Structure 1
């Protein structure tokens, strides 16, 4: 499938991938619900089948075109209680726990897997919805420094947004981010 035939959200997520399972990427739009937007992708394996993990603004799903039209595994974001990343030399494993279900996805390349887990963590913690992370520019208050008179109050930024910004700018490590989010 040519890039111009992909939806813009899928194309943007695909461009960030190290490994591209093209057959599943081409079919991804057929697996999405109305209004669902893709923010992150990662190739991986579930129950010995290679496929694609996709994070949307509503759920995390794994598709394998050899299995047919239904997603092999799907987790609504509000039901995810935890997601963990375990890294190996070149790849790692993503473990998802949700109310009543769980799954492990292995053979996920390090950069793709870690980015996907961080995005799921952020979405589950009540951060910016994943689709908004792709399309939205940074908040205007942080784009450029505008000196203010001392009497002007500082802009009010929700603590979860501030923590996310600190993580995105590299001030907080992923482990520090997780710790702070849990304390909020």
Structure 2
């Protein structure tokens, strides 16, 4: 075993690799990999994957609390949704991007960060976010909704190259590789 492989053995898999191996769509796995969280969120990430249609792209996830329920706040190219941990059957709250008037964040690393998405008939607040996740999530919503900066999207050819490496190393099945490849081609 080469030296770099030993280092990887001790470090473990990245969140994206772990979720891709579990059969989670690439966009959801990448969004989950950018959030401050750990493998205990994987069941909720799987729920997100079963609920999002194939033509809707997950852009960012944030762990936090909505009301008294801990779960994941999800930004897609169409909506902001909240999925509770240990709840199945869909999101507990959702707001269409086109109806968002305002997005704000607050809190601190010590007390936890919060995000509030406001529309004409809705206010969705998620608090107890880890580290700077509230600010990062709010900025991502602003970028997508109001166009304040380009949306963070990876080059589909770069993603395809990563998927090929995972397939060739046995970490991704041929069937899942083909499914993700079709999805990437459809995005071009």
Q: Would you tell me which structure has more helix in proportion to its own residues?
A: 2
| Deviation, structure 1 residue 86 | 0.4
For residues 106-148 of structure 1, the C-alpha deviation after alignment (integer angstroms, 9 at most, x for no partner) is 1111322211110101111135774xx22249xxxxxxxxxxx
For residues 81-115 of structure 1, the C-alpha deviation after alignment (integer angstroms, 9 at most, x for no partner) is 11110022332111110121112111111322211
Point out where structure 2 has 5 or more consecutive residues left out of the alignment: 1-17, 157-188
What pairs with 1:162-177 in structure 2 (closer than 5 Å)? none
For residues 145-181 of structure 1, the C-alpha deviation after alignment (integer angstroms, 9 at most, x for no partner) is xxxxxxxxxxxxxxxxxxxxxxxxxxxxxxxxxxxxx
- C-alpha contact (below 8 Å) 1:94/1:117 kept by paired residues: yes
- C-alpha contact (below 8 Å) 2:56/2:78 kept by paired residues: yes
Specify the alignment match of 2:186 in structure 1. Answer: none
Specify the alignment match of 1:118 in structure 2. Answer: 139
Q: What secondary structure does 2:32 align onto?
A: helix
What TM-score, normalized by structure 1, do the two folds share? 0.67
Specify the alignment match of 2:183 in structure 1. Answer: none
How far, CA to CA, are the matches of 1:136 and 1:115 in structure 2? 21
- Point out 4+ residue stretches in structure 1 off by more than 4 angstroms: 127-130
Point out where structure 1 has 5 or more consecutive residues left out of the alignment: 138-184
How far, CA to CA, are the matches of 1:110 and 1:89 in structure 2? 5
Specify the alignment match of 2:153 in structure 1. Answer: 134
| Deviation, structure 1 residue 64 | 1.2
Specify the alignment match of 1:3 in structure 2. Answer: 20
How far, CA to CA, are the matches of 2:37 and 2:49 in structure 1? 19
Output the aligned Cα RMSD.
2.0
Q: How many residues align?
A: 135
- C-alpha contact (below 8 Å) 1:53/1:61 kept by paired residues: yes
| Change in CA separation of 1:89 and 1:17 when aligned onto 2, cut-off 3 Å | closer
